[in-house]
Homo-oligomer: A and B are copies of this chain.
Amino acid sequence: MNQNLPVHLEEYLKLHPADLADHLQRLPQEEAVALLQQLPTTTAATVLAEVEKEKLPEFLPVFPAAQLAEICRRLPADDAVDLLQLLPPARRREVLSGLPPERASEIKSLLRFPEDTAGGIMDNRFITVRDDMTIEQTRDLLRSRAEQERVEDVAYLYVTDAERRLVGIVSLRDLVFRRAERRVGEIMNRDVKFLRATDDQEAVARQFEHYHYLGLPVLDASGRLVGVVKASDALEIARQEATEDMQLMVGLSGEERALTPWRKSVGRRLPWLYVNLLTAFAAATVVGIFESTIAQWTALAVLLPVIAGQGGNAGMQTLTVIIRDMALGELSPGDGRRALIKELILGLVNGLAIGIVVGLAGYWWKGSIALGLVALAAMVLNQLSAALAGVVIPFGLKSLRIDPALASSIFVTTVTDVAGFFFFLGLATLAMPWVVP
């Protein structure tokens, strides 16, 4: 990040658009908007394409529809689509009607794909050739395309048939050293990996990581080539999904940043704190049932949070491992049972290891063997509950087609609180006759 910020417009214009976007997002809203409006339209367009999606709604309203149309005209179609998706429908139509008809229909065809699919993230700029073209003709085509637009970072040309279906790929390297009179069909690679436009973006990111592709072609339902996804797009998705998972787990809806204004953050955090409150009341009810036990044996109130807290911590460990593996696509549904068995063994081992310490501490503190044994047993049972909850809750949410990360830490700690309180106070109540004659 730039620590020394520029003061004059000319200095801003020397920045890389991604850096300028970064800077803009750190300014107070009014200053950011004022700066944006001073930028030449082409610069404003490239900067808006780099601004994070969650910040865009702050910046878009200041532009009249005609200027937004101008911005969309200068952006690659996939970036224009990202902007348009954030506009209310009426304003979106207004902007689209301000675009040249060909451009508008190009953008409309991309707007069909949901944002979080391969179709939603792909770039529709790619170069197609026919299999009966010669290498010479292909070179000429590439030369002319390179002159009229920025076809940077092209590594492959896509070979399509008369129905625009993908039949092969040719690398730029082939063009360099194959003889000019050979035909594309003879040298192309027919074994092409591809994505479907409806593929989930998370699955797309995994493919890139697994197979180390630089880019993958995207086909629609009829096998027609409609776009290309690049490795750097997949990188952005992997980051976004990791952030989302971490935040969903602890009850944060929507991607929040450290400097997101507090008024927005309240709306994202408070609802989950209320959900947590409901579950905390459920746990408190369990404690309430045993109020008379506590009244006779107050040492229980002191050890209660230790038993429950250790369960919560162990449950979070299990949960984090499961959720991350699910996100990385490394856990098939059939693995659930194996994971559960492993976690239960771990729960037993860890429960004994911590339970013995807590039990000894309880015995040493109050000289009561009963207190020590109750603490040990409750700890083991609660570690087993933590293991069970840490596996069953994410698998359960997933089978309900809910994001397994969603508020799962709240649910897991509820289980470990309720189970911890119940086992500890319940066992203590059973042991009471030996403790308080």
Provide the bound-state CA to CA distance between A276 and B292, in Å: 29
Check if A310 sits within 8 Å of B261, measured CB to CB: no
Provide the bound-state CA to CA distance between A351 and B354, in Å: 33
The answer, among B252, B287, B349, for a CB contact under 8 Å with A321, is B252
Q: A172-B173, A242-B238, A287-B301 are in contact. Are A322 and B151 (CB under 8 A)?
A: no
Interface of A is mostly: helix
Report if A162 contacts B (CB, 8 A).
no
Provide the bound-state CA to CA distance between A292 and B251, in Å: 36
Report if A295 contacts B (CB, 8 A).
yes
Check if B280 sits within 8 Å of A310, measured CB to CB: yes
Q: Which residues of B contact A349 (CB under 8 A)?
A: 262, 266, 270
Smallest CB gap from A206: residue in B: B239
The 8 A CB mask of A215-253 against B (1 = contact, 0 = none) is 000000000000000111111101100110111011110
Report if A346 contacts B (CB, 8 A).
yes
The 8 A CB mask of A94-114 against B (1 = contact, 0 = none) is 000000000000000000000
Q: Which residues of B contact A408 (CB under 8 A)?
A: none
Check if B266 sits within 8 Å of A358, measured CB to CB: no
Binds B, one of A7-15, A36-44, A64-72, A330-338: A330-338
Report if A1 contacts B (CB, 8 A).
yes
Q: Which residues of B contact A312 (CB under 8 A)?
A: 312, 413
Q: Which residues of B contact A155 (CB under 8 A)?
A: 153, 155, 172, 214
Q: Which residues of B contact A339 (CB under 8 A)?
A: 258-259
Check if B291 sits within 8 Å of A298, measured CB to CB: yes
The answer, among B142, B284, B303, B410, for a CB contact under 8 Å with A284, is B303
Check if A205 sits within 8 Å of B235, measured CB to CB: yes
The 8 A CB mask of A141-167 against B (1 = contact, 0 = none) is 011001000011111000000000000
The 8 A CB mask of A43-86 against B (1 = contact, 0 = none) is 00000000000000000000000000000000000000000000
Check if A310 sits within 8 Å of B154, measured CB to CB: no
Check if B247 sits within 8 Å of A230, measured CB to CB: no
Q: Which residues of B contact A239 (CB under 8 A)?
A: 209, 238, 242, 328
Q: Which residues of B contact A317 (CB under 8 A)?
A: 250-252, 269, 272
Smallest CB gap from A297: residue in B: B295
Check if A273 sits within 8 Å of B421, measured CB to CB: no
From A258, A273, A325, residue with most partner B Cβ within 10 Å: A258
> Can you list 23 pairs linking A and B with CB atoms under 8 Å apart?
A16-B211, A146-B177, A153-B214, A172-B172, A214-B231, A214-B232, A242-B242, A243-B328, A245-B246, A246-B246, A247-B320, A252-B321, A257-B325, A259-B335, A260-B342, A266-B349, A269-B317, A269-B346, A270-B354, A273-B350, A274-B354, A295-B295, A313-B410
